[in-house]
Structure 1
Amino acid sequence: MITKILTRGGRASAYLLVRYLRALLLLLALPNGLLLGWLITPFTAALVKLANSERRRAAKYLRAGAPDLLPPALPRAPGDVVTLFRDRSFKRSLRLLLMPLVMIPELFVSVFALVGVPAAIAGMLLWKLDPGGFTLMGVPVDNWTEALTNGTGQVLSSLAVLIWVVPAVARLHAGAVLDLLEPSADQLETARLERRVEELTQSRAGAVDSHGAELRRIERDLHDGTQAQLVSLAMRIGIAKQTMAQDPEKAAKLLDDARDGAEQAMTELRGVLRTMYPPILADRGLAGAVSALAARCPLPVELRIGELGEVPAAVEAAAYFVVAESLTNITKHSAAGHVDVLLERRDHELYLAVTDDGIGGARVNEQSDLLGRGSGLHGMLHRVQAIDGHMELLSPIGGPTTVEVILPCG
């Protein structure tokens, strides 16, 4: 019971004391801030950051979750008063100047709650050393009756303030901070749109990089594989044509080799085309294609596929490649014994989760690490972001590893 009282009252008192110290610092900086704030641009940004810090601490005290924060102060040149008065975040953060008005009552309540009981006990025990010099409940003490009566009253009053008054004042202060410093609806909408633009810019850059890398890979595969086979095929046909009249058997052998080369070139060309858009998606759909990947995986795969409905081709391709790359990574690097794949439709989104019971420690890197891990996940992330999807990797050391992907279908 005592621990609960001290925890509740002590937490509230600590919150109010810290608020008092911040208000005191703000009060000390206020004269110079008002005189030079229009000229010193960091003052504007600092005041907005202080307002956001107060909102975070108030929400933490009330256990209200992460609050909406004021957008950063507008960039401006020294002396730019026009921009300063247009800055809604700065004008909203000026409400912090109300803090010094309430810091004295809050400090008195907090100090009385924390010091009242020890002071009462000391006064009851030591009043004889200086009769009339100790005060309990504001009354000088010069006999045992007053010491015990007033001391008990001060103990009970301090505990009552610590249990009920201080938490109430702290909640009132925190609630007022959240209300007074809350960003406006227009600011929240603007901040949301700015974050969205930033996300789209990053995803567009990732899509461009991914597209460029894909084109270079296709060009490399065609140049090193299919093109070389076709050049060899042309040379064999030319030689066979020249030797046809003089050595028909040699020409026939060259034509047989050319036929084998043509078949091999066709196989390599189909392989390149398959990486662009797997034909199995068109033949069997996403569910059938993922089932085929699971069947070819050397590890046991538990496959759970819900009702998918109609899925856009780009989303099908992205989901297919995520599953294919995930199963490849798990087979090569995870030392896993089992894989779980979940694929289902959730309203207007396609949800995909691939989980393995391996060693974990997977990270998304632009380049492979010493063990050859990471770059495949980076490619998966770009492929998902290119269609405005979201990918999250959970892979603590020791496992398990889960790749979660959400792809928009609307």
Structure 2
Amino acid sequence: MLTNILARGGPAVGYLFLRYLRAVLLLVAMPLAVLFGWIVPSATAELVRFANGERRQAAWQLGRSLDDELPPALPRRPGDVATLVRDKSFKRSLRVLLMPLAMIPELLVAVIAVAGVPSAVVSIALWWLSPGNFSLMGLNVDNWVEALTLGPLQIGVGLWFLGRVAPALARGHAKAALNLLAPSPEQVETAKLERRVEELTKSRAGAVDSHGAELRRIERDLHDGTQAQLVSLAMRIGIAKQTMAEDPEKAAKLLDDARDGAEQAMTELRGVLRTMYPPILADRGLAGAVSALAARCPLPVELRIGELGDVPAPVEAAAYFVVAESLTNVTKHSAAGHVDLQLERRGAELYLTITDDGIGGAQVSEQSDLLGRGSGLHGMLHRVQAIDGQMELRSPIGGPTTVEVSLPCG
């Protein structure tokens, strides 16, 4: 029981003492802030940061996560009162000036919670050395009856303050700080939009980089493969045309070689086209294409495919390549013995998760590590973000590794 009291009361008392110290600091700084705060922009900006610090500590005290904070104070020139009046963050942060109103009651509760029990034990043990100079429950102790009556009572009150009153007061202060210093709904919505714009900017930049890399790869494949085959084909046909009258047999052989070269060029061209939009998606749909990938994987794959509905072509292609790259990574790097693959529609999103029981340690990085891992995951992330999807990788050392992807279908 005593352990539970200490576990509840210790953090609460620390929070109350810290609130008292910050309130004292606020009282000391308040006259200067009133006189010079409107002139010095950094003073008002610091008040906003102070308010956000209070909200973070309040959220920690309540065991909550803090998703929104007051936006920074508006930039302004010294003496620019008009901007200061329009600054919603500054006006909200002014509520932190209410802290000194509660500093004395909170300090009193914290002191009673901390000192109540130790002072009672000391007074019970030492009152007889100097009767009348030791007190319990605010009364002087002159005899053993008072010591043994008031002492346990003060111990009980001290434990009650430590285990109940201090935590309740700390929670009340924290809730008040979270509510009073919270940004307005307009500020929260603006912050969400700004974060969304930032995410879209990053995803667009990633999509542009990925698209550029894909175009360079296709150009390289066409230049080094298909184009070389077509040039060789044209040369063989030209030579065959020149030698047809003099040596029909040689011309026929050249035409046979040209036909083989044409077939090889078509094969390479189909390979390039397959990397842009696999024909199997058009033939068998996403479920059939993923099933084919799982069937070709050398590891056993437990496949669970739910109802997918109508999936846009870019989403199908992204999901297909994520599955293909993931199964390739598992086969080459994970040392896994089993793969679990789930694909289903969840509302307006296509949800995909791939889990293997391998060694773990996979990370998303632009450059491959010593084992050749990482760059493929980076390409997967860019491909997913390019269509405004989300990808999460969990791969602790020792495994398992899980790739979760959600792609919007709306």
- For the criterion TM > 0.5, the same-fold answer is yes
Distance 1:67 1:102, change over 3 A: farther
Is contact 1:17–1:110 with CA below 8 Å preserved after alignment?
yes
CA distance in 2, matches of 1:245, 1:161: 112
- Match of residue 250 from structure 1: 250
Q: What's the % identity of the aligned pairs? A: 77
> How far apart are 1:67 and its partner, in Å?
4.7
| TM-score normalised by length of structure 1 | 0.95
Tell me if 1:233 matches 2:240.
Answer: no
**Residues 1:190 and 2:196 are matched in the alignment:** no
2:103 matched to which residue of 1? 103
Deviations 1:234-274 (A, max 9, x none): 11111111111222222111111111111100000001011
Deviation, structure 1 residue 36: 3.2
Give the residue type in structure 2 aligned to 1:140.
N
Unaligned runs of 5+ residues in structure 2 are none
**Structure 1 SS opposite 2:406:** strand
Secondary structure at the aligned position of 2:367 is classed as: coil
Amino acid at match of 1:86: R
Report the counterpart of residue 11 of structure 1 in structure 2: 11
CA-CA distance at 1:304 after TM superposition: 0.8
Q: 1:232 deviation in Å?
A: 0.7
Q: Which residue of 1 aligns with 2:29?
A: 29
- Give 1:241's aligned amino acid: K
Instruction: Give the letter aligned to residue 362 of structure 2.
Output: A
Please say which of residues 356-365 and 47-56 is displaced more in the overlay: 47-56
What is the CA distance between 1:45 and its match in structure 2? Answer: 3.3
Letter in 1 for 2:94: L
In 2, Cα distance between equivalents of 1:298 and 1:40: 68
Q: Does 1:344 pair with 2:371? A: no
Kept in 2: contact 1:56–1:67 (CA 8 A): no
What is aligned with 1:372?
372
| Pairs within 5 Å for 1:284-303 | 284-303=284-303
Q: Match for residue 149 of structure 1?
A: 149
Shift of 1:85: 2.3
Q: Residues of 1 paired with 2:152 and 2:303: CA distance?
A: 71
* Structure 1 stretches lacking a partner, 5+ long: none
Report the Cα distance in structure 2 between the residues aligned to 1:310 and 1:229, rounded to whole angstroms. 39
* Structure-2-length-normalised TM-score: 0.95
1:42 aligned partner, one-letter code: S
> Take 2:338 and 2:74, find their aligned partners in 1: how far apart are those partners?
53
Aligned-partner residue type, residue 232 of structure 1: S
Identify the range of structure 1 (362-371 vs 189-198) with the bigger mean alpha-carbon deviation.
362-371
Matched, 1:314 2:325: no
- Residues 156/336 of structure 1: CA separation in 2 closer, same or farther (3 Å cut): closer
**How do 1:82-231 and structure 2 match up within 5 A?**
82-231=82-231
Aligned residues: 410
* Aligned mates of 1:200, 1:33 — CA distance in 2: 40
Counterpart of 2:76 in structure 1: which amino acid? R
Displacement, 1:6?
Answer: 2.2
CA-to-aligned-CA distance 1:84-132 (integer Å, 9 cap, x gap): 2222112111111111121111001110121011112211221233332
- Could you give the per-residue CA deviations for residues 195-237 of structure 1, whole angstroms, max 9, x where no partner exists? 1111111111111111111111110000010001001111111
Contact kept, 8 Å, 1:391 with 1:405, in 2: the verdict is yes
- CA offsets per residue over residues 120-154 of structure 1, 9 Å max, x none? 22112212333322222222333333333333332
Which amino acid in structure 1 is aligned with residue 310 of structure 2? E
Distance 1:284 1:185, change over 3 A: same
Partner of 2:353: 353
SS in 2 for 1:370: coil
**Whole-angstrom CA distance in 1 between matches of 2:163 and 2:236:** 96
Which contiguous aligned blocks of 4+ residues in structure 1 show a shift greater than 4 angstroms? none
| Stretch deviating more after TM superposition (330-339 or 270-279) | 330-339
In 2: Cα distance, 1:128 partner to 1:149 partner? 15
1:404 Cα offset (Å): 0.5
One-letter amino acid of the structure 2 residue matched with residue 50 of structure 1: F
Separation in structure 2 between the aligned mates of residue 392 and residue 362 of structure 1, nearest angstrom: 12
| Separation of aligned partners in 2, 1:175 and 1:338 | 48
Distance 1:387 1:124 in 2: 73
Contact 1:363 1:374 in 2 (8 A): yes
**Change beyond 3 A, Cα 1:163–1:74:** same
The question of whether the paired residues in 2 share the 8 Å contact of 1:55 and 1:67 is answered with no
